[in-house]
A and B are shown apart, each in its own frame.
Chain A
């Protein structure tokens, strides 16, 4: 069964600092991987996704993620954090048959002024 593990339930960075949110996946077949963001009292919004076209994926709001098969990782990064980036971030994996998605436990990002 496919799954993802997010390392770190809480990450705190200063405004302007690098954001690094970690995600490792487990899959017996090439996975489809996603990063979603959830702002307080809102639904989930897609940041970016990997569907095997390119290993470095650029998303919205300056975020990007790199698919590394050798490390089974899909970490999310942003060079410079903004206060508005404070939210919960979820990594997810889906299969090619049903497109059903399995989410990680989430990482809450805090941005300090």
Chain B
């Protein structure tokens, strides 16, 4: 158990819909990262939040957005869903530092868009 929790574990929805994925980081971790894992794209970095502020963006679509709340939990919002958005979405957390910090991954949310 990494200490990172994600809900829900599974999500099935239809094209055009909007969903919200939730992540609670390990106690004391200020950074939250979101990743998408799919068969065709592999494991891709989406976005990084540090203490409530957006720190960096990766390959995140404009239909996707995220935020980190004062209690440090984070939400990833996916809208106008398409079949290709079906994937495993992971969040990870780390302590702040100067680089090379270990990222601890949650168990993931498996999204299926029908």
Choose from A32, A103, A105, A106 the contact partner of B100 (Cβ within 8 Å): A32
Question: Which chain A residue shows the least CB distance to B31?
Answer: A99
Q: Quick check: B90 and A43 within 8 Å, CB to CB?
A: yes
| B65 sits at the interface (CB 8 A) | no
Cβ contacts under 8 Å, A99 to chain B: 31, 48, 94, 97, 99-101, 103
Q: Roughly how many angstroms separate A46 CA and B104 CA in the complex, as a whole number? A: 8
Q: Quick check: A43 and B105 within 8 Å, CB to CB?
A: yes
Contacts A99-B31, A101-B45, A103-B42 given; indicate if A45 touches B105 (C-beta within 8 A). yes
Q: Roughly how many angstroms separate A99 CA and B70 CA in the complex, as a whole number? A: 21
A: contact size bracket: 20 to 34
| B106 sits at the interface (CB 8 A) | yes
Choose from A46, A96, A106 the contact partner of B99 (Cβ within 8 Å): A96
Q: Quick check: A43 and B97 within 8 Å, CB to CB?
A: no
User: Whole-angstrom distance from the CB of A14 to the nearest CB of chain B?
Assistant: 28
Q: Roughly how many angstroms separate A96 CA and B99 CA in the complex, as a whole number? A: 4
User: Whole-angstrom distance from the CB of A9 to the nearest CB of chain B?
Assistant: 10
| B55 sits at the interface (CB 8 A) | yes
